[in-house]
Amino acid sequence: MFPARFAPFLFGLFVSCLMSFIITCVATLRAVGLADNFLEIWMSAWFFSWMIAFPTILFVAPLARKMVARLTRPPV
């Protein structure tokens, strides 16, 4: 188990990995269809996208949390 202080980092890791994995699959499928080398093309696209998505989510998630906090009421 990881200490709680690593939670934002782990959240960013999992969200960026899963979202880029799903989105690149859809985009690759639309672009090339079920080509013989689909998996190779998809994994290449996914890895490149994940390299962008991971640091982006680490920066954007705190901003999104602040925006949500301003738009919602605190629990009673």
Residue 7 lies in a domain: no
Q: Is residue 1 part of a domain?
A: no
| 60 in any annotated domain | yes
3-class DSSP state of 76: coil
Residue 17 CA to residue 12 CA, distance in Å, equals: 8
> Count of domains in the chain?
1
The pLDDT of 7-21, averaged and rounded, is: 95
Tens of pLDDT, residue by residue over 16-44, are 999 999 999 999 999 999 999 999 999 99
Q: What is the mean pLDDT of residues 43-49?
A: 96
Q: Say what the pTM is.
A: 0.79
Residue 74 pLDDT? 83
Tell me, yes or no, whether 9 lies in a domain: no
Task: Say if 10 falls within a structural domain.
Answer: no
For residue 57 the two structure tokens come to 């989510």
pLDDT of residue 5: 95
